[in-house]
Amino acid sequence: MANICDCTSGAKNLGQANCDAVLKSMNRVLFKQRLNADGSVPVIDFSGAVGTHDATWWETYLQATPLVNRYIVGTDVDDYEFEMQDREALETANKVEYKIHDGHIEVKYNVFGAKGASIDLYDRYKQLECGKWGINIIDDAGQLAGPINGTDMGLIPINSVQVKYGAQANSGTIAHVEISFRIPFTFNWGSVKLFQPNVAAGDLDLLEVMPIVPLVLDITNATDASADVDVTVFQSGSGFASGAGQSGQPQIGLAPANFTVTVDGVGATVATATETSDGVYTLTLAAPVATGNVIQIQAVATGFESNNDNYTV
């Protein structure tokens, strides 16, 4: 929240601490919806002792479910711009300027993939234009930035999100997604602190944090009195194949442990996963299903996560 009035605290000296943390250029962004599924306000809990914030702890935020509770990683930040705007003020006849409020902050950057950003990636970034989002910034030094309240790091609120697609052109432009948003003037930028990597556990490097690649899982067949359930698992992508309709690359090499299956809401054991062709699996459950059963399947592998697909036998 913005400081209503900073003027009651008296004067402050203006020296800067030796080697004080300085926010570097944005390297990654953590996007997070402003409310969790249970209505609580999301915070990153730094109440643990120094050195306990390791990769496993971090995964509770980056792999949280449902997705509304997750800190969604955006990487490949390039052409980053951050500009605090002039304040809004009223100039009187006496040529005195009275502040109405501070200026908001304009943030803009581009995402270029290794071979250009795909339309599918653009489509997923477009979700940021819906709902209310906040961010935490991971900078080039691996520091994490956000407003601090006690030992909790909250979100930097954003609004006015715009996501645009820049198509490949012959004139030296490669396909990219342009993301711009505003940090509102009501946010007190002075409340931002930097969590520094040198106080994290040894295995935590925020510059190694990677986004999860979405998988598209489709249950294609399950029949009465059979334990076999056919599924296809492809990476979400922009391609389209006639007949099959799958979009991205097939997700190969999945094993029973990669699948979470429920039948009528009760967990079911996957006995075997048979990959008949790339991305096409027959899952054999430990027991047959029956007409009317509702099967739900999700596939998760390191760095990949699918939708939950439902199928009524």
Query: Do the beta carbons of residue 103 and residue 182 sit within 8 Å?
Result: no
Output the CA–CA distances (angstroms, integers) from residue 105 to 136, 157, 177, 244, 299, in the order listed: 15, 11, 20, 46, 40
For residues 75 and 179, give the distance between their C-alpha atoms in angstroms, rounded to a whole number.
Answer: 12
**CA torsion, points 195, 199, 202, 206, in degrees to nearest 10?**
10
Range 280-299, binding another protein (CB under 8 A) = 284, 286
Give the nearer residue to another protein in terms of CB position, either 89 or 257. 257
Q: What's the farthest any 2 CA atoms get from each other in the chain? A: 88
Q: Does 227 bind another protein (CB under 8 A)?
A: yes
Smaller CB distance to another protein: residue 185 or 234?
234
Q: By rule CB under 8 A, what count of residues binds another protein?
A: 17
Min. distance of Cβ 218 from another protein in angstroms? Answer: 19
Within 8 A by CB and 6+ apart from 116, the residues are 168, 174, 175, 176
Residue 302 interacts with another protein (CB under 8 A): yes or no = no
Q: Give the residue carrying structure tokens 């040198």.
A: 198
Strands 213-222 and 304-306: parallel
The answer to the question of residue 230 lying near another protein (CB under 8 A) is no
Grouping H, G, I as helix, E, B as strand and the rest as coil, residue 71 is: coil
Site for another protein (CB under 8 A): which residue of 167, 257, 290, 294?
257
- Is residue 271 a contact point for another protein (CB under 8 A)? yes
Asked whether position 254 contacts another protein by CB under 8 A, the answer is yes
Nearer to another protein, 211 or 256 (CB): 256
Exactly one of 256, 293, 298, 301 binds another protein (CB under 8 A); that residue is 256
Contact in structure between 246 and 231 (CB atoms under 8 Å): no
Cβ distance to another protein smaller for residue 236 or 251: 251
Rg (CA), the chain: 24
Among residues 221, 274, 308, 312, the one that binds another protein under rule CB under 8 A? 274
CB of 228 to another protein, least distance (A): 8
Residue 270 in contact with another protein, rule: CB under 8 A: yes
CB of 299 to another protein, least distance (A): 13
Task: Determine if 260 is a binding residue for another protein (CB under 8 A).
Answer: no
Segment lying near another protein (by CB under 8 A), choices 67-75, 129-137, 187-195, 271-279: 271-279
234-264 core/surface letters (b: 16 or more CB in 10 A; e: else): bbbbeeeeeeeebbbebbeebeeebbebbbe
Q: Measured from the CB atom, is 191 or 272 closer to another protein? A: 272
The Cα 157–Cα 180 span in angstroms is 13
Cβ at position 139, least distance to another protein in Å? 41
Query: Which residues contact another protein by CB under 8 A?
Result: 226-227, 253-257, 269-276, 284, 286
